[in-house]
Structure 1
Amino acid sequence: MTINSTARCPFSGMPAAIDEPAEQRIEAPVMDVDPFDEATLASPYAMHERLREADGDVVYIPAYDIYAVARYDAVRETLENWQHFSSAAGVGLANFNSEKPWRAPSLLLEADPPQHDAPRAALEKILGARKLRRYHDEWRQTAHELLGGLLNDGTTVSNDGAVELDAVTEISEVYPLSVFPDAVGLQQEGRANLLPYGNFAFNAFGPRNRLVTDDLETIGPVFEWIGNQCPREALNEDGFGDDIWRAADQRHITEEQAPLIVRSLLTAGVDTTVYGISAVLYHLASNPDQYARLRENPQLVRRVFEEALRLESPVQTFFRTTTTEVTIGGTTLPENQKVLMFLGAANRDPRRWENPDAFDLTRDPSGHLAFGSGVHQCVGQHVARLEASCVMEALIERVERIEFIAPPQRHINNTLIGWDSLPIRFVPA
């Protein structure tokens, strides 16, 4: 698989200086911020507040010649109005209307109806909540085995039987890689490529900065491995991948579409779940009263994941491109204009959520935008929910308290937010 180094995003520089008349931007407040600055990516919340509290639903960011929306209603409207805010021109900074994509566009993320409809329908059937029930017992057992092994074989055990570990590298990354590749039907060798591949793909939605260029020399073999997993002969029978190819046999999708849909699963099926499980563990360790509430009320297992996603949305941003002149909240945007949607900011909008920065299991977090909304809403959300609930069920049975033993370390990505390290202490139940 080759990388197109001539495209602006992810492999070229910042957009050219703006030479359009300033009058075209007068309707939107101009915000001198850089959403892709590494310090901002690590802690975007102050910027989010500035964007939300600007004088209007839309702001203009001259550093990248983009408009941005950060309030809940404006973000949701943009997500759902695919007719005027297209995904087909790319969900990153690059505009596919004028720039060649760095790889074949995703049939799920980077296509609009009607081209989007058949792949979406096929994958919704394969990854539906009812279809996933067959995995619950196996995935729950895997979670118990993982937690049990950590508690029994932990490297540091105190007098109260507590075990110290890194929740990212020993739980959040290990568990999805233990269950998801088998469900897809991947070969055993090379599965560790899924994490750097997803990390690069989500970085590539931003500008060509250090986060992209640092990986260019090493990412080639990873891409080659991913490409080799998508043909039918590479996949085991009875997995999600084989289901996709059988949908091609039944002519629900074409044979040309099948490997691209498999690739979409591999792009977004691991990293986002890793970050989501990490978000749960981070907020439970940060809020011991809420963890106690969860153990007393195990029926909150599903809610704890949704509240963690609302508060710490793994996918922080996505772009859309206007298909015509369109108005949001009194601001008129020109045709073919990139619009950056701040999902993470919308999920902490005080216009929508009371005390939005608090992790609160008494809250109903339904309606959060961590999985998007509308026709492009995350098709794999039921997989992520099942994985997280299995981990949480095992956790509350086996662990009485979760405590930090050192400050967490952020992982920096142009699109995602998560952690490189969560040093915690498990006190067994």
Structure 2
Amino acid sequence: MSTSIEKPYVESEYAPLYDPFTAEFQNDPFASYRRLRSEAPVYYNEKWGFFALSRFDDVRAALKDHGTYLNFQGVDIDDFEQEQSGYPGMLPNIDNPRHDQLRAAVQRSFMPRSIRALTDEVRQVCDQLIDKFADQRNVDISADYSWPIPFEVFYNFLGMPEGDIRDKFVRWTHGIKDRKLGSADLTDFARESSRELREYLAHLLRERRENPRNDVLTAIVQAEIDGAPLAPEDIDYAAEATGLAFALYLGGVETTAGTMSTLFEQLALNPEQQQALHNDPALIPRAVEESLRYRTIFQVTARTTSRPVEVNGVEIPEGKRVFLILGSANRDESVFEDADKFDILRTPKPHLGFGEGLHGCLGNPLARLETTVALEQLVARKGTFELTAEPRRYTTTPNAYVLDSVPVAFA
């Protein structure tokens, strides 16, 4: 620790700098991020009682310091009472040693080799969706393509049943994210959706115990940790195994759909970059990484300090909530040249689109595969496109920035 400890920038109620629960911030978060990085890299919000880090190096260091920045109070910046995320088994909200034990129980299913084996299935899903709008000029590329892909692929991967029940899963998925702007509390719809989804996942885990398959739900119900079964004899909605399934489910759809939607929106706004992909499809992986950097879907993740820690000469006390703003870190001008510009031709550099360290996103190989194949098939089968209306933000937690409507017209 240095001998000179500065005070953090404290927000004035008359000149708010970073309040993620306001409409003003949500309308243009990146302007606030620029001010944070410049004026208040270690920031304290008195109203909500959190610190915030916004520069790339500071955010990355905190993500990797899992002894100081703990997850036990949850990664969501709302839901202060952890109504949705406080159950056992919620992998993002668990510290070691239990985190690594739970992650190891499902890690094999998410290994790159296992994910690559899904390539043909993902391509088939993409082609079936393109078939539906192949002859159409006007398409909502988000609603008709970006969102259905991860629903279909991840449901099969996790082991969700087919048929009408999938419509309920869609409802629960959206319901879990239901929020009221300006509030840090869950809505009744979010509470109801969480409970119903947990109860159904518990039912599926009980069913997999009787009828195992080659899927992630079976891996969970058959897992052992230090010789003891992960799943109890009576699996209910609050069981650790159910929480693990719930956590994997939450991470499997929105992030991927949002990444695709941002990618297609930005390509529509940058026709020369679209044309570059048609001229050289080998650029597609770069385009995917740029989408992850440019508008990181999971904009912010929360931690709680286990001890006093100094960042940029400012001491953050023990037991404080700290918001790590990934969306700002990935726009840090000191790391990324022309950081506010979407550029698939930029020199690749590591970004924090999937976090880093102990809690780096387990499903990132699958999300990257789906997004890559989705763009490959669109480039191969359709021409260039342009926006026909303003894209629409998805109603979700204040942690995220996601589009659910990107209307385009193909040439």
Query: Is residue 2:311 matched to residue 1:328?
Result: yes
- Selected match of 1:245 from 202, 209, 221: 221
Aligned to 1:233: 208
Structure 2 Cα separation of the partners of residues 356 and 100 of structure 1: 34
Corresponding letter in the other structure for 2:29: P
5 Å-filtered alignment, 1:68-107, equals 68-93=52-77, 101-102=83-84, 103-107=86-90
5 Å-filtered alignment, 1:9-408, equals 27-31=7-11, 32=16, 33-55=18-40, 57-93=41-77, 101-102=83-84, 103-152=86-135, 154=136, 163-188=137-162, 189-201=164-176, 208-209=183-184, 212-213=186-187, 215-216=189-190, 219=193, 221-233=196-208, 237-248=213-224, 251=227, 254-256=230-232, 257-408=240-391
Shift of 1:100: 6.2
* Cα 1:114–1:250 shift into 2, 3 Å: closer
The answer for unaligned runs of 5 or more in structure 1 is 1-24, 155-162
Structure 1 Cα separation of the partners of residues 222 and 127 of structure 2: 33
Residues 317-352 of structure 1, C-alpha deviations (whole Å, 9 max, x = no match): 110000011111111111100001111011001011
Shift of 1:409: 1.5
Conserved 8 A contact 2:220-2:231: no
Structure 2 Cα separation of the partners of residues 132 and 251 of structure 1: 27
Shift of 1:407: 1.3
Percent identity between the two aligned chains: 29
Three-state SS of the structure 1 residue aligned to 2:91 is coil
Residues 267-294 of structure 1, C-alpha deviations (whole Å, 9 max, x = no match): 1111111111111111111111111111
* Cα 1:357–1:43 shift into 2, 3 Å: same
- Which stretch has the larger CA shift, 39-48 or 251-260? 251-260
Aligned to 1:418: 402
Residues 288-323 of structure 1, C-alpha deviations (whole Å, 9 max, x = no match): 111111111211222211100100111011100000
Structure 2 Cα separation of the partners of residues 199 and 72 of structure 1: 31
Three-state SS of the structure 2 residue aligned to 1:109 is helix
Residues 390-424 of structure 1, C-alpha deviations (whole Å, 9 max, x = no match): 11110110122111111112224311111231111
Three-state SS of the structure 1 residue aligned to 2:222 is helix
Structure 2 Cα separation of the partners of residues 90 and 79 of structure 1: 14
Shift of 1:101: 4.7
- Which stretch has the larger CA shift, 241-250 or 281-290? 241-250
Conserved 8 A contact 2:273-2:344: yes
Three-state SS of the structure 2 residue aligned to 1:403 is strand
Structure 2 Cα separation of the partners of residues 365 and 60 of structure 1: 33
* Cα 1:115–1:185 shift into 2, 3 Å: same
Length, aligned pairs only: 390
Conserved 8 A contact 1:66-1:340: yes
* Cα 1:381–1:193 shift into 2, 3 Å: farther
Residues 234-270 of structure 1, C-alpha deviations (whole Å, 9 max, x = no match): 8861122223333339958622443322221111111
Corresponding letter in the other structure for 1:416: A
The answer for unaligned runs of 5 or more in structure 2 is 233-239
Structure 2 Cα separation of the partners of residues 125 and 258 of structure 1: 16
TM-score (norm 2): 0.87
- Which stretch has the larger CA shift, 329-338 or 182-191? 182-191
Corresponding letter in the other structure for 2:160: L
Conserved 8 A contact 1:198-1:268: no
Shift of 1:194: 3.9
